[in-house]
Amino acid sequence: RSRRRWLRVVRVLDEFEETASTPVGRLRQVVDAMAVEMHAGLASEGGSKLKMLLTFVDNLPDGSENGTYYALHIGGTNFRLLRIQLGGQRSILGHDVERKPIPQHLMTSTSEELFDFIALSLKEFIERNGNKNNQVRGKDLGFTFSFPVKQTSLSSGTLIKWTKGFAIQDMVEKDVVECLQKALSRIGIDMNVAALVNDSVGTLALGHFYDKDTVAAVVIGTGTNACYLERADAVIKCQGLLTASGGMVINMEWGNFWSSHLPRTSYDIDLDAESQNPNDQGFEKMISGMYLGDIVRRVIHKMSLESDIFGPVSSKLSARFVLSTPSMAAMHEDDTPNLSEVAKILEDSLDIYNVPLKVRKLVVKICDVVTRRAARLAAAGIVGILKKIGRDGTAGITSGRVKSGKSGKMRRTVVAIEGGLYTSYTIFREYLNEAVGEILGEEIAPFVILKVMEDGSGIGSAMLAASNSSQG
């Protein structure tokens, strides 16, 4: 009898593993789909699930920026305040960062409440950090706002929709900078929002500040997104787009990418249906930190219903988000011989007690399947961007024929990456790096460098405020 119930559970695992598998052939299909969707999103408004938003950033920082600048970053679990001093010649003389969790109730309240909280936090931050070393106080503010925004200039744009659990209805379609600027005057802060940027754009800016071969940036934290430097004339939906540099950074909003080649399981379908934004952000829901733990929770729940190897079905197993991604990562990376960390987290997060070692190993395996798929899909997305801009070694498609000019034409290409999932979850990072190499092949892979940009989204936005300062 006990053998039979074990087999039932193994069947659940096998089926999950099979449906979620990401052999390199499938990843290449995802690469192609990403490049195709990018084209479609640039061709016409609404042409793809990828919004391919204009950012009005046409010049990335080059290291010559000078002075003191502030930045605010909102977009996930933590709200961040930053202050940087730039000294020209690619040097950052100093920077302070403060993180504050956003009170849960503010994520679904009113825009005034949210922005008053932000403005007040900034005021306190300036008072604490403002006059160190008798620095002249900076007046220009970079604002990193990591939600889909339709920009009308570098310093204005309206919110398209919320993601990642935020839901403040009165803000949708409002000008985000205006909301902030008004709160700043309510609180009595004399500052000018010089740049409104998405987190991935900030990351790209910092990447470029250090290394001019940086052409794209990816954020993988609570949510996920990417941006890259495109030729202005490739933005077909915006005829006659002229920029001084001939380029334009495009915010892909890749969390919303979708393709039939994505290995979707029944757990993904349920997670989506029960989410605050069903049929939305499909790629993000397979990849990012907000969701991975919850996918694992769903698989364990299914097993627990099929068999009693986890003991009586814990009621926690049907509660969304009780297993966080950091807890899941801790189970995955448990290196104690008897997996005592796994046992502890099963108890603490899921009320599951006294499971044998064999079952704990099974849990680690589930974490592995979920994380491996996420990391490999993100890798395919990255190579998709490189393919779109002719940096994946296949040198684009001319008259329907793939040119085989391989590494001879390949240029050094840097992709800036940040976000807690990539920086703090070692196995995730390793899987992602490995998959990029696997997809590109050993001839091309050495030309592509993934560089971590710690706090890039905030620092980069302060830099963009610097290069677009109203004070000249």
* In the complex, minimum distance from the CB of residue 341 to ligand ADP, in angstroms, rounded to a whole number: 13
From 30-38, 239-247, 400-408, 417-425, give the range in contact with ligand ADP by CB under 6 A. Answer: 417-425
Of 222 and 265, the one with the shorter C-beta distance to ligand ADP is 222
- Binding ligand ADP (rule: CB under 6 A), the pick from 41, 148, 207, 221 is 221
Give phi and psi for 227, each to the nearest 5. -145, 165
Least separation in angstroms between CB 22 and ligand ADP: 19
Number of residues that bind ligand ADP (CB under 6 A): 15
Query: CA 246 to CA 232: how far, in whole Å?
Result: 5
Catalytic residue among 48, 111, 121, 146: 146
Instruction: Give the residue, chosen from 325, 349, 467, 469, that forms a contact with ligand ADP under the rule CB under 6 A.
Output: 325
**Options 19, 158, 277, 424; binder of ligand ADP; rule CB under 6 A:** 424
Residue 111 CB, shortest distance to ligand ADP, in Å, is 19
Told to check if 425 binds ligand ADP by CB under 6 A, we report yes
Q: Is 440 in the site for ligand ADP (CB under 6 A)?
A: no
Amino acid at 426: T
Q: How many CB atoms lie within 10 A of CB 318?
A: 13
Half-sphere exposure of 386 (CA within 13 A, CB side): 32
The piece of 254-262, 395-403, 415-423, 444-452 that touches ligand ADP (CB under 6 A) is 415-423
Which residues, numbered 81-110, are part of the site for ligand ADP (CB under 6 A)? none
Kindly state whether residue 421 participates in binding ligand ADP, applying the rule CB under 6 A: yes
Burial 373-399 (b: 16+ CB within 10 A, else e): bbbbbbbbbbbbbbbbbbbbbbbeeee
- Judged by CB under 6 A, the residue of 138, 142, 289, 456 near ligand ADP is 289
Stretch that binds ligand ADP, among 106-114, 133-141, 325-333, 463-471 (CB under 6 A): 325-333
Q: How far apart are CA 362 and CA 359, in angstroms?
A: 5
CB 113 within 8 A of CB 170: no
Residue of 203, 222, 256, 413 interacting with ligand ADP (CB under 6 A): 222
Pairing verdict, β 53-54 and 247-251: antiparallel
Catalytic: which of 58, 199, 294, 334?
199
Computed from CA positions of residues 57, 61, 64, 65, in that sequence, does the dihedral angle turn out positive or negative? positive
Smallest distance from ligand ADP to CB 84, Å: 18
Which of 58, 284 has the CB closer to ligand ADP?
A: 284
| Phi, psi of 466, deg, nearest 5 | -65, -50
118-142 burial by CB neighbour count: b if 16+ within 10 A, else e? bbebbbebbeebeeeeeeeebbbbb
- Per CB under 6 A, the list member of 29, 77, 129, 243 interacting with ligand ADP is 77
User: Which region among 76-84, 106-114, 256-264, 399-407 touches ligand ADP (by CB under 6 A)?
Assistant: 76-84
Residue 77 or 243 having the CB closest to ligand ADP: 77
Amino acid letter, residue 433: N
235 φ, ψ to 5°? -85, 75
- Measured from the CB atom, the residue of 426 and 470 that comes closer to ligand ADP is 426
With CB under 6 A as the contact rule, which of the stretches 324-332, 391-399, 432-440, 462-470 interacts with ligand ADP? 324-332
The catalytically annotated residue of 48, 58, 80, 457 is 80
DSSP state of 382: H
CA distance 159 to 173: 5
Listed in sequence order, the residues at least 6 apart from 52 whose beta carbon sits closer than 8 Å to its beta carbon are 38, 41, 42, 235, 237, 250, 251, 252, 253
E strand or H helix at 74, and its extent? strand 66-74
Nearer to ligand ADP, 103 or 312 (CB): 103
- 3-state class of 451 per DSSP? strand
The reply to whether 199 belongs to the active site is yes
Which secondary-structure segment (H or E) carries 231? strand 224-231
State in angstroms the smallest separation of the CB of 420 from ligand ADP. 3
What is the footprint of ligand ADP within residues 328-357 (CB under 6 A)?
A: 329
In the three-class reduction of DSSP (H, G, I as helix; E, B as strand; rest coil), residue 378 is classed as helix
**41, 61, 75, 202: which one binds ligand ADP (CB under 6 A):** 75
- Would you count residue 427 as binding ligand ADP (CB under 6 A)? no
Answer for which of 165, 311, 326, 390 binds ligand ADP (CB under 6 A) is 326
Contact stretch for ligand ADP (CB under 6 A) within 182-190, 265-273, 346-354, 414-422: 414-422
By CB under 6 A, residue 78 contacts ligand ADP:
yes
202 binds ligand ADP (CB under 6 A): no
Helix 24-43 / helix 357-388 crossing angle, nearest 10 deg:
40
DSSP-H helix ranges across 131-265: 176-187, 199-210
- Catalytic residue list: 80, 146, 199
Binding site for ligand ADP (CB under 6 A): 75-78, 221-222, 289, 325-326, 329, 419-421, 424-425
